[in-house]
Amino acid sequence: MRERPLVIALLTALCGVAILTVYFLVPLASSELGAIERIIGTIAAGVILLLALIYIRRRATNVPLLVVLLVLVAVTFAATFYVIASNRPGEFDGIETRIDALYFTLTTMTTTGYGDIHANGQLARVLVSVVFVFNIVFLSLVAAEASRIVDARQSRKAEAKS
């Protein structure tokens, strides 16, 4: 059973908000001691994310799942960049906050690359290269899914005409 597109879109957005909530709540650096509110917030956001993903998976195409995957991977890279920048000075030039790390990740994933934040160290450069490879694989998955959806629609139209 396929659900209405608005419901799926809202749940997909809710997943994105849950992922970002976890990103900003979970303690990442050694100076950030995990308060009980952060733990509870992280668990709540994780449960919301899990339930929404189960619902989406059962009732939608793979497109919403790919969108959630993109947000999840972006936040994972941002968290990784933030931890590295916090624990290994000199790897990145310009990452001082989580927002800096998320901004750098998004400008890298979109190949915008303003140059205000950049990888200096070898570990940082390797991880940025992984982001580039992920982009290629992700774009291939999106293209394959779009092709599958178009083929399915054309098949349904052809069946309806006959």
Q: What does the domain layout of the chain look like in residue ranges? A: 5-161
pTM over the 0.85 mark: no
Which pLDDT value is given to residue 92? 96
Burial of 138-155, coded b for 16+ CB within 10 Å and e otherwise, reads eeeeeeeeeeeeeeeeee
Residue 162 burial (CB count, 10 A) = 4
CATH of segment(s) 5-161: 1.10.287.70
DSSP 18-79: HHHHHHHHS--STT----HHHHHHHHHHHHHHHHHHHHHHHHS-SHHHHHHHHHHHHHHHHH
Weakly modelled stretches of the chain, pLDDT under 50: 1, 33
Q: Which pLDDT score is estimated for 1?
A: 46
